[in-house]
Structure 1
């Protein structure tokens, strides 16, 4: 008769641990004194359109949609590319010459754009399996209901399917590590099938 209680206690402890990780990540990475200028960002972001598409709506499955993304998340990712905490051959040199003001302006511009999702043609069973797995691993504890994100936690609803798959795989393999270990912990027990189901579910959210 003790097993259900133990499972309940373990679930509570796990939820508390996730909250602490998310909260610690936010507290550690909040930029101070940020002043963003969306109009200035529009001019500075023109070069980004070559890969990320007009107004940040990428149609390339390997390149993330930036439109509607949280400004603080975008700012911090640009900063990580610039400072070497995250590495990507096209992005690292693009970010290397950006000032803090440039990054804030660009982030604010893309955050103000309307996301135009590119839907992956997933079957209903895969989407439902992804929904169950998302609930199991407590995704919304950080990414919020609807996967709209918050502050430096990204919006992932409607993101490119293939990009989601790649990032989850990279977190699992520790190829991507600029998240204070939170996503590595979440993904470590995910199978490739789990990851594809999660990507199908998240991509098809509004």
Structure 2
């Protein structure tokens, strides 16, 4: 009898976890409905200058939302969007977008700039944090295949110290980059599939 009860308890626990996750994904989809105009229905941004969220870890997306809400990162639209989100909302939205794969962004890169960008990326050791293939990890973003305008804008923001919601690594690296380096890195990073 004990074994049967134990089996039912384990089954109930597993079913509860699956149902809870399904509810959280549905809640994330509902909350994310306001995000799709800029970031795309499946997290693949359709507007240049806005980041694709698909392919990011849920943890990275969550931390960025939290940073917008708590004032560690600033953007006129995103700060307002995040201000009304609860912790659960942010976790659910992050999980919603993180489950989608990144699609090719359609950016046509200049091959000469790609080559120069790759050389600069190798020189500055970008893959130490962003990993090989620029796939990201935990709270380090995937930058491979990201929107060109967004990559360039964020590198400029780090260089100007108007974006500082990292451990200081990107700000330090960006100080060494010229405007041409930033443009070349944008071509390289955005062209990685």
TM-score above 0.5: yes
Deviates more, 1:168-177 or 1:53-62: 53-62
Q: Is 1:70 aligned with 2:53?
A: no
Give the whole-Å Cα distance in 1 for the aligned partners of 2:106 and 2:167.
30
Segments of 5+ residues of structure 2 without an aligned counterpart are 1-19
How far residue 163 of structure 1 moved from its aligned partner, in angstroms, is 0.5
How far residue 200 of structure 1 moved from its aligned partner, in angstroms, is 0.6
What is the Cα-based RMSD across aligned positions, in Å? 1.3
Task: Give the match for residue 96 of structure 2.
Answer: 109
Q: Is 1:182 aligned with 2:161?
A: no
What TM-score do the two structures reach when normalised by structure 1? 0.81
Give the whole-Å Cα distance in 2 for the aligned partners of 1:121 and 1:151.
29
How far residue 117 of structure 1 moved from its aligned partner, in angstroms, is 2.5
What TM-score do the two structures reach when normalised by structure 2? 0.86
How far residue 38 of structure 1 moved from its aligned partner, in angstroms, is 2.4
SS of equivalent residue, structure 1 residue 90: helix
Give the whole-Å Cα distance in 1 for the aligned partners of 2:175 and 2:107.
25
Give the whole-Å Cα distance in 2 for the aligned partners of 1:98 and 1:123.
40
Alpha carbons 1:119, 1:203 under 8 Å: kept:
no
Deviations 1:68-97 (A, max 9, x none): 211100000000000001111111111011
Task: Give the match for residue 34 of structure 2.
Answer: 47
Q: Is 1:159 aligned with 2:146?
A: yes
Deviations 1:39-66 (A, max 9, x none): 3211111110111122111121111111
Deviations 1:145-179 (A, max 9, x none): 00000000000110000100000000001010111
Give the whole-Å Cα distance in 2 for the aligned partners of 1:150 and 1:122.
25
Alpha carbons 1:117, 1:160 under 8 Å: kept:
no
Alignment length (residue pairs): 172
Equivalent runs, 1:135-146 vs 2, <5 Å: 135-146=122-133
Task: Give the match for residue 19 of structure 1.
Answer: none
SS of equivalent residue, structure 1 residue 55: coil
Deviations 1:108-136 (A, max 9, x none): 11000121221322221111111111010
Give the whole-Å Cα distance in 1 for the aligned partners of 2:138 and 2:192.
19
Give the whole-Å Cα distance in 1 for the aligned partners of 2:187 and 2:177.
15
